[in-house]
Amino acid sequence: MEWKDEWKPLILITVIFLGCFYLPLGNERFSNALLEALYLVRWYAREHVVLCLVPAFFIAGAIAVFISQASVMKYFGAGAKKCLAYSVASVSGSVLAVCSCTVLPLFAGIYRMGAGLGPATTFLYSGPAINVLAIILTARVLGAELGVARAVGAVAFSVVIGLLMTALFRGEEREDDRVQSFIPEAENARPLWQTGFYFGVMIAILVFANWGETAEVSGFWYSVYSFKWTITSIFAGAFGVILIAWFGVKWWMVFGTVLFTIVFALFFPKEPMVSFSIAIVGLSVISNTGKGEMDEWFSASWGFAKQILPLLLFGVLFAGFLLGRPGQEGVIPSDWVSKSVGGNSFQANFFASLVGAFMYFATLTEIPILEGLIGNGMGKGPALALLLAGPALSLPNMLVIRSVMGTKKTVCFVTLVVVMATVTGMIYGAVFG
């Protein structure tokens, strides 16, 4: 036996054994951290998997099947005009208003279809970071000054990070550009406006189904929230018509799905997720039992789900163990965090960026968390640093990014976000602190 090939498994087994041997089961903080991990992963499964991730998987699968590789490269490829590529990437991400995990299937879809590293990472950052509703809420709750700083910083970050990623991996981008230049333009099975409308309806379902509750009880945003499921149902109906008219799906299959969804909505009027789940099951059956494009769509969507979902759930579980849920504690005491983000020192800004990067923030939850930290003495610079690093990254997010574009690119992407957030926070704190 060649022991030089066995030392890595030996070290791994030894570490696992020692961890089990000294497992601090009687320690109250450790036991509470385990419960927090389970609570967080349960909350994530209830609130984000069905409404956020499953629609995102279908959209990502649709990108892989219904959008030609040549079309993706035209706007996002390594050889595309930079002004066009980064503008489209930042705008495309910002209109989704999704969290750092929901954007991952969409990022994986465009990256595998040939999008350049720079535009793809711009899209990856902009999706959760440039959230119009979150920026407005930041300005209202934490002050207009911090809201404007978040908006400007997030837009600039998305483009700068993409450009820096391109510069760091320029050799690979040139090779991609050379290979992509030989890929011919594919013939579209349907007009561009039909494909665009099809994707627009799916994105609308994703956005309105996840429309967050507002603190106010009147006004435009509250009205949208009040009618979110009515709006979602209208777009879902339009989606059914599209499947019949443009994709050749049998009308009775769509009608059956609609009928079952309505029945469950009548029996569970206060549980819209039940009806939404029935619609998802119906769409899965329709696409899986279909032929040609429909079957390819389901296969691609299922492929993304198999790759991404286990990593996300494990990452959420581990993040909950370390940091707990909002307002609760994991194995790391929350007062350590509060004491480490006061003032405007490099350490405070770096710590805020680093903790924000690893902690999981659902859409809009970063604002009440920051409100509490600022009340406990958090400096303005670290507050902005956390806002710029937190929503765009999380431990689950990092695990999936690594599976898509590799360890080296993931480390570079995370490092750029943390460093830029730290420097921006220090500058903001020095000017406005």
Q: Could you tell me if residue 205 is inside a domain? A: yes
Q: Could you tell me if residue 228 is inside a domain? A: yes
Q: Could you tell me if residue 12 is inside a domain? A: no
Cα of 309 vs its chain's centroid, Å: 12
Contact 125, 86 (CB under 8 A): no
DSSP conformation class of 4: G
Residue type, 407: T
Distance CA 153, CA 137 (A): 16
Distance CA 340, CA 379 (A): 10
Distance CA 94, CA 89 (A): 9
DSSP conformation class of 433: -
Q: What total of structural domains would you count in the chain?
A: 1
Q: Could you tell me if residue 5 is inside a domain? A: no
Indicate the SS3 state at residue 182: coil
Distance CA 139, CA 130 (A): 14
* Residue 248 pLDDT greater than 70, yes or no: yes
The better pLDDT of the pair 214, 320 is held by 320
**What's the token pair of residue 56?**
């995102």
Instruction: Say what the pLDDT of residue 182 is.
Output: 42
Instruction: Say what the pLDDT of residue 171 is.
Output: 72
Instruction: Give me the chain's average pLDDT, please.
Output: 84
Task: Using pLDDT thresholds of 50, 70 and 90, give the confidence band for residue 181.
Answer: very low
Question: For 343-385, what is each residue's pLDDT tens digit?
Answer: 888 999 999 999 889 888 766 677 777 877 777 678 889 999 9
> CA nearest 153: which of 333, 374, 422, 394?
422
Distance CA 302, CA 394 (A): 23
Q: Could you tell me if residue 281 is inside a domain? A: no
* Residue 179 pLDDT greater than 50, yes or no: no
> CA nearest 204: which of 50, 55, 63, 76?
55
* Residue 25 pLDDT greater than 90, yes or no: no
Q: Using DSSP, how many helices (H) and how many strands (E) does the chain show?
A: 22, 0
Task: Using pLDDT thresholds of 50, 70 and 90, give the confidence band for residue 336.
Answer: confident
Angle made by CA atoms 18, 22, 24, in degrees to the nearest 5: 145
Q: Which pairs with CB-CB distance under 8 Å and at least 24 residues apart come from 299-302?
A: 299/61, 300/60, 300/61, 300/62, 300/64, 300/65, 301/57, 301/58, 301/60, 301/61, 301/62, 302/57, 302/61
Indicate the SS3 state at residue 12: helix
Instruction: Say what the pLDDT of residue 78 is.
Output: 65
Question: For 372-430, what is each residue's pLDDT tens digit?
Answer: 777 767 888 999 999 899 888 888 889 999 999 999 999 999 999 999 999 999 999 88
Domain membership of residue 193 as a residue range:
51-249+290-432
Task: Using pLDDT thresholds of 50, 70 and 90, give the confidence band for residue 4.
Answer: low
Per residue, what are the HEC states of 333-358? CHHHHHHHCECCCHHHHHHHHHHHHH
* Residue 50 pLDDT greater than 50, yes or no: yes
Q: What is the percent of the chain where pLDDT is above 70?
A: 90
Q: How many residues does the chain have?
A: 433
DSSP conformation class of 52: I
Contact 78, 116 (CB under 8 A): yes
Task: Using pLDDT thresholds of 50, 70 and 90, give the confidence band for residue 249.
Answer: very high
Q: Could you tell me if residue 125 is inside a domain? A: yes
Query: Which of 179-183, 219-223, 254-258, 324-328 ranks highest by mean pLDDT?
Result: 254-258
Distance CA 72, CA 74 (A): 5
Q: Could you tell me if residue 283 is inside a domain? A: no
Give the residues across from 418 on adjacent strands: none
